[in-house]
Amino acid sequence: MNSIVKIFFGAVIAATLVACGAGAKDKKGEIGDIKVKIEKLKKEKSALDADIRKLEDQLTKADPEAAKLVKKLVTVDTLRIQDFTHFIELQGKIDADGIGYVAPSGQGGQVKAVFAKLGNRVSKGQLLLKLDDAMAKQGVVAAQQMVIGAQQQMGQIKARVDQAQSIYTRYQNLWKQGIGAEIQVVNAKADFDAASAQLRAAQAQVGSAQAQVRLAQEQVNMSNVYAGMSGVIDEMNVKVGEFFSPQSAAMPGSGIRIVNAGNLKIVTNVPDTYISKVKKGEKVEVEIKGSGQAPFTSVISVVGASINPNTRAFVVEAKLPSDPSLKPNQIATMKILDYEVKATVAVPVNVVQSDETSKYVYVMEKSGDKMFARKKTVITGEAYNGLMEIKSGLNGGDLIITAGYQTVYDGQALTTN
C-alpha cells in the first residue's frame, strides 16, 4: 500500500513540474510573439506614413488649396542656449552634531530634585538634577575628623621636636665650652632626629587626611548632574525618587537628551557606483519637505572612508542652516551635482524619439510664408528633471515641436494657429 502511495505522489509531482516547465516556456513564447507583433506593426506604420506622405504631396501638387486641409496643427518652442546640470537624488535624514545624553559623573544615586523640564533651553554646565548625597556628606565629615586628629597629633609631635632641638642646642653649646660629656650631645642629637622623623610622618598623615576630604567632597559634587552642552531638552525621563546611573542614562527612553539644533546636517547613503563622482566640497542641493523652506545649496562636508558591505553604499554629509523648522530624523532629499555643462541645448525628454538607427526630434522650419516639419537626428547626453541634453543636431533658436510631434513626418506642412 505504501509503495502505491509513493508512486502516486511521485507521479503528481512529476506532472506538476512538467506543467510548470511548460508554463514557463509558454510565457517566454508569448513574450516573443508580442515582440514580433510590435516590430511588425512598427514596419506597417512606417509604410503607411510613407504612403500618406506621398498622397499628401500628390494632393498638394494637384490642388494647392487642398494643401491647407492637410496642415498639421502643432505647438513649438524656441530653443535657448542654457546651462545643463544633472543631480544624483538620494533620500537622507537630518541629524545633529549637537546631540548629547546626560549622565552622572559618579556611580549615580536616587534622584532628590529635578531642575529642568522637557523643552527647556539649557546651557553647558547648568545644574539639572540633584542626587542623594547623604552618604557622601558623611564621608566628608569623617575625613574632616581624620584631618583634625592628624593635625592634633602633628602639633604634639612638633612640640617634642622643638623641645628636643632646644636640648640638643644647649648640650652642643656646653660641649663647645668644654662643659659636660660628649655622650650627652650624641643622645640629644638622636632624640632630635627621631622627633623630626615623627613630625614628617605626622605631616604626611595630615596631607593624606586632607586628600580624603577632597575625595569625599568630590563624591558630594558627583551628586550634582550638569548639562554637558547647550541646547534644548527634547527627552526627559527622570523623576524624583528614581535611581539614576550611567547605565540607566544610556538606556533608550530612560534618560535626558539635549539637542543643539545649531549644528544640523543631512546624512545619506550613496551607492558605490557613484564613488568617483562624489567628493568633499562639491555642491549639493537639499530639499526638506514640510519645512516651508525652498531648496537651498550646501556642500559635502563628509565622505565616508569605507563602503558598507551589506548596502554597498558609503555615508555622505552636508551642513544645514540653523532653523527652528528643521528637526533631527526629519526626512530630506540630497541632490548631488555629478554633471554640468555650460551653454548647451536641452529639450523636453518626451520629444526625443527613436528609430532603428538613431534618436531624433521634429523641428519647424519656415520657407517663405509656409512652415514644414523637419526630422533632426540628434546625439543626446544626460537627462534630468524632464530635460535632455542635446550634444549635437540642434542649435539655439531652432523651433522645436513640443505638441503634435508624434504624428508629423519630415516635410509635412504645419500650422500653429
Q: What residue ranges of the chain have pLDDT lower than 50?
A: 1-15, 17-20
Query: Are 77 and 153 found together in one domain?
Result: no
- Boundary residue ending a domain (283, 318, 340): 340
Q: Are residues 330 and 402 in the same domain?
A: no
Domain check: are 318 and 263 in the same one? yes
DSSP state of 69: G
Q: Any idea what the Cα angle at residue 178 is, between residues 172 and 179, rounded to 5°?
A: 70
Among 395, 348, 400, CA closest to 373: 400
User: What amino acid occupies position 312?
Assistant: R
The Cα–Cα gap between 67 and 56 comes to 8
What 8-state DSSP symbol labels residue 242?
A: S
- Is residue 317 a part of any domain in this protein? yes
Selection from 95, 98, 125, 129 nearest residue 331 by Cα? 95
The model scores a pTM over 0.85: no
414 membership: H or E segment, kind and range: strand 414-415
Domain final residue, candidates 173, 202, 222: 222
Where would I find the beta strands (DSSP E) of 43-155? Answer: 72-73, 75-78, 82-102, 109-114, 121-122, 127-131
Can you tell me whether residue 52 is helix, strand or coil?
helix
Is 70 among the domain residues? Answer: yes
Q: Is residue 361 part of a domain?
A: yes
> Do 334 and 347 share a domain, yes or no?
no
Domain total in the chain: 4
Residue 273 phi/psi, 5° resolution? -65, -20
The CA-to-CA distance between both ends of the chain, in Å, stands at: 86
The predicted structure's pLDDT at residue 361: 93
pLDDT, tens digit, 9 for 90 and up, residues 245-296: 888 888 877 889 888 877 788 899 999 988 888 889 888 889 887 777 788 8
Does 21 share its domain with 75? no
Q: 149 is in which domain, residue-wise? A: 133-222
**121-122/231-236 β-pairing:** antiparallel
- What b-and-e string marks burial along 352-387, b requiring 16 or more CB atoms within 10 Å of the CB? beeeeeebbbbbbeeeeeebbbbbbebebbbebeeb
Percent helix, strand and coil across the chain, each rounded to 5? 40, 35, 25
Mode of pairing for the β-strands spanning 72-73 and 414-415: parallel
Residue 408: all three cell numbers together: 508629423
Count Cβ atoms below 10 Å from residue 85 Cβ, excluding itself: 20
User: For residue 146, is it within any domain?
Assistant: yes
